[in-house]
């Protein structure tokens, strides 16, 4: 995150995701996510990896990890940094490898998180979601608790799951409002992309205090971030219906915040 030195501080992770899990009659999971990163960091947009053909996701070309991905069998994982400059460690492992390792493994979410807990001290602060077609779990190495998520609406930024930062509340409420009026319809991903494109910054009195100073707290308070050297690099919408058909769409943006490209994948998962 801005304000933290070292290449590991620039690791590619999501900085906001919000999702509806097992609450819609047509869909198991409906998720929107923004990945914020330094513009100079080399990245591949979402694709099926040549090295692991069953994985769909973007890729960090510096450390070869990822911030979010899903497999053809329905294994899903996503990662955010936990913003705490005072908790940075020397020579940490790359957090992006945590997502990659889960997607490449055959372990259950419970088994994988048990391994992560054993090695959590090797990483700078993080949050991780891991799941499959049976359950979805959350863990932060800033807390001893592993949560097996129940049906509901959730959002995650750079603190604990559902910490009520302005953009966390705003994005979750916007998704809830959209789905409440569309219980019997197909999801229109354009509506979720509109939520992800919101550049309005929070009021000063709403800003969290995470140790990075007012200017950066302000800049990072919007759902879509438009900084000079750092900002939203991609927006992703993921919809998994109850017939296990996946829609995965990603929009990427240039350093001048202009739309660059869009990719879309739709296929049936193999349980």
CATH number of 7-268: 3.60.60.10
Q: Which residues contact 195 (CB under 8 A, 6 or more apart)?
A: 18, 32, 171, 174, 175, 178, 223
Q: According to the model, what pLDDT value does residue 9 have?
A: 44
Residues 201, 173, 127, 262: what is their CA dihedral angle, to the nearest 10 degrees?
A: -70
The verdict on pTM exceeding 0.85 is yes
Mean pLDDT, the chain, as a whole number?
A: 93
Q: How far is CA 30 from the centre of its chain?
A: 13
Write out pLDDT tens, residues 218-268: 999 999 999 999 999 999 999 999 999 999 999 999 777 677 899 999 999
Q: Where are the chain's structural domains? A: 7-268
Answer whether 86's CB lies under 8 Å from 164's CB. no
How far is the CA of 263 from the CAs of 122, 248, 259, in angstroms? 34, 8, 12
Write out pLDDT tens, residues 62-72: 888 999 999 99
Q: How far is CA 86 from the centre of its chain?
A: 23
Write out pLDDT tens, residues 121-179: 999 999 999 999 999 999 999 999 999 999 999 999 999 999 999 999 999 999 999 99
């Amino acid at each position: 995150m801005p304000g933290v030195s070292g290449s590991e501080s620039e690791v590619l992770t999501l900085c906001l995701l919000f999702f509806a899990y097992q609450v819609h009659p047509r869909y198991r999971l409906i998720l929107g996510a923004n990945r914020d990163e330094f513009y100079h960091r080399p990245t591949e947009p979402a694709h099926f990896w040549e090295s692991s053909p069953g994985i769909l996701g973007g890729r960090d070309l510096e450390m070869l990890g990822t911030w979010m991905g899903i497999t053809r069998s329905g294994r899903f994982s996503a990662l955010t940094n936990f913003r705490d400059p005072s908790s940075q460690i020397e020579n940490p492992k790359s957090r992006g490898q945590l997502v990659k390792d889960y997607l490449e493994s055959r372990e259950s979410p419970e088994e994988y998180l048990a391994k992560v807990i054993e090695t959590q001290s090797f990483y700078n602060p993080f949050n991780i979601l891991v799941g499959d077609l049976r359950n979805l779990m959350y863990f932060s190495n800033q807390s001893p608790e592993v949560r097996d998520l129940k049906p509901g609406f959730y959002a995650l930024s750079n603190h604990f799951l559902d910490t009520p930062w302005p953009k966390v509340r705003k994005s979750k409420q916007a998704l809830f409002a959209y789905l409440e009026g569309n219980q019997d319809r197909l999801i229109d991903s354009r509506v979720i992309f509109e939520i992800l494109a919101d550049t309005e910054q929070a009021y000063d009195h709403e800003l969290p205090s995470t140790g990075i100073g007012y200017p950066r707290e302000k800049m990072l308070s919007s759902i879509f971030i438009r900084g000079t050297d750092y900002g939203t690099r991609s927006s992703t919408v993921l919809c998994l219906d109850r017939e296990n058909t996946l829609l995965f769409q990603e929009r990427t943006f240039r350093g001048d915040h202009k739309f660059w490209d869009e990719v879309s994948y739709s296929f049936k998962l193999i349980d």
